[in-house]
């Protein structure tokens, strides 16, 4: 049976659920010998992921998106900034 941590990995770092067929916990429930081959999608790899997690937990990410859209921009630029910070300050 999958552990609670394995069920937690059924969400991406953005908190959106994965399709059930891509969820390691679901696969393990169907086949107890199944072992995931990829890293969990919610693994924090750098400073950008840390900033994103804090912004998401406090709701700042939704505010940034709303402000950007009200100014006529496609997005707030958070994902590009996140990627750049991860490259500049990796945690591994």
Segment 35-84, tens digit of pLDDT: 766 555 567 889 999 999 899 899 999 999 999 999 999 889 998 999 99
Contact 12, 52 (CB under 8 A): no
Q: What are the tokens at 55? A: 């912004």
Please, what is the angle between helix 47-58 and helix 60-70, to 10°? 90
Give percent of the chain above pLDDT 90.
36
Q: How wide is the angle at C-alpha 5 spanned by C-alphas 14 and 51, nearest 5°?
A: 35
Residue 58, CB-side half-sphere exposure with 13 Å CA sphere: 8
pLDDT in tens, 24-37: 666 777 777 777 66
List CB contacts of 56: < 8 A, sequence separation 6 or more: 14, 15
């Amino acid at each position: 049976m999958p552990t609670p941590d394995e069920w937690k990995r059924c969400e991406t770092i953005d908190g959106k659920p994965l399709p059930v067929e891509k969820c390691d916990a679901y696969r393990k429930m169907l086949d107890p010998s199944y072992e995931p081959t990829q890293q969990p999608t919610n693994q924090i790899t750098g400073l950008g992921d840390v900033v994103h997690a804090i912004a998401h937990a406090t709701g700042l990410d939704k505010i940034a998106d709303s402000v950007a859209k009200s100014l006529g921009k496609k997005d707030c630029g958070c994902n590009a900034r996140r990627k750049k910070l991860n490259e500049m300050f990796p945690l591994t």
